[in-house]
Amino acid sequence: MTSCGKTTLDDATQILWEDGVCVLEGILDPALIAGCLGHLAQNDPGLLEQNEDPRKNYVTDGRFYAGVAVEGPFAQRDMMLPAEVEKVISATLASDFIIDSLGFIVAHPGAPEQHWHRDGGVLFPGHPLEFMLPATAITLVIPLVEMNEETGTTGFALKSHRNRDPVDKPDYEPVVEVGSAILWDYRINHKGLANTSRVNRPLITATLCRPWWMDELNFSDAEKLLIRREVLEGLDPDLQKRLVRARVID
């Protein structure tokens, strides 16, 4: 079972190591998620719409990534880095991990299925030891609406972070409820599935990595990690250290 809702965080770390993906169930207050959606609706309604906003990078028709300044309810520590996530990532990457990027992925109604891909993190392409190595980076996704077969979840080829085998159909398509989060090894083969519902499917996504590694494949430096100065200054020192790559804006 690739989930740790009823298991220990040690189990979650082991699942992430073996399968390459793990769902952390019920780690966030759904009311906090609702507050984030309300904040977007009131302060940045265009973010969820299909338009030519320069912050958006469309990765497929109807599906985009946007780097947005961390502020409001999104700046709460539980949203930026839930305690349970921090524990699993510390055990997976080491306690000095940092946040390389943080933003939104939105799939509009009708957004098609993506192609198979790895986020990255392969240090030695073609070397026989590559897929025996520990992870360099982990993707964190916190859905703002449930990820399911209608809104579109993410399909995974389990254990594909450990091999180069070709993949066909996903063998894991988790339902991720509001208040839960999902973690996956940057090397695992996966794809976003189609949004066949009538609602947008917004996700918060972050890249958590070892301090000597950075993602030079998926995001421009300008959009990777933006944070308001007053927000950064109000965070605890431990979290500030994890945000050393953030671009601070006034």
Q: What is the pLDDT of residues 119-146, one digit of tens each?
A: 999 999 989 899 999 999 999 999 999 9
In this predicted model, what pLDDT tens digit does every residue of 154-168 receive, in sequence order?
Answer: 999 999 999 999 999
Question: What are the extents of the domains in the chain?
Answer: 9-249
Average pLDDT over residues 199-211: 96
Candidate from 67-76, 166-175, 199-208 with smallest mean pLDDT: 67-76
What confidence score (pLDDT) does residue 214 get? 93
Mean pLDDT of the chain: 92
CB of 138 closer than 8 Å to CB of 213: no
Alpha helices in 107-153 (DSSP H): none
CB of 184 closer than 8 Å to CB of 221: no
pLDDT band per the 50, 70, 90 thresholds, residue 1:
very low
Q: Say which residue the tokens 């953030």 belong to.
A: 246
Report percent pLDDT > 70 for the chain. 96
pLDDT band per the 50, 70, 90 thresholds, residue 244:
very high
Which of 42-46, 51-55, 143-147 has the largest mean confidence? Answer: 143-147
What confidence score (pLDDT) does residue 6 get? 47
What confidence score (pLDDT) does residue 218 get? 85
Q: Say which residue the tokens 């939104």 belong to.
A: 104
What confidence score (pLDDT) does residue 51 get? 86
What confidence score (pLDDT) does residue 117 get? 95
In this predicted model, what pLDDT tens digit does every residue of 89-104 receive, in sequence order?
Answer: 999 999 999 999 999 9
pLDDT band per the 50, 70, 90 thresholds, residue 222:
low
Which superfamily does CATH assign the domain made up of 9-249 to?
q2cbj1_9rhob like domain (2.60.120.620)
CB of 227 closer than 8 Å to CB of 187: no
Is 217 a residue whose pLDDT tops 90? no
CA distances from 83 to 13, 41, 78, 173 (A): 14, 27, 7, 25
What region does 72 belong to: left with phi over 0, alpha with psi -120 to 50, or beta? Answer: left
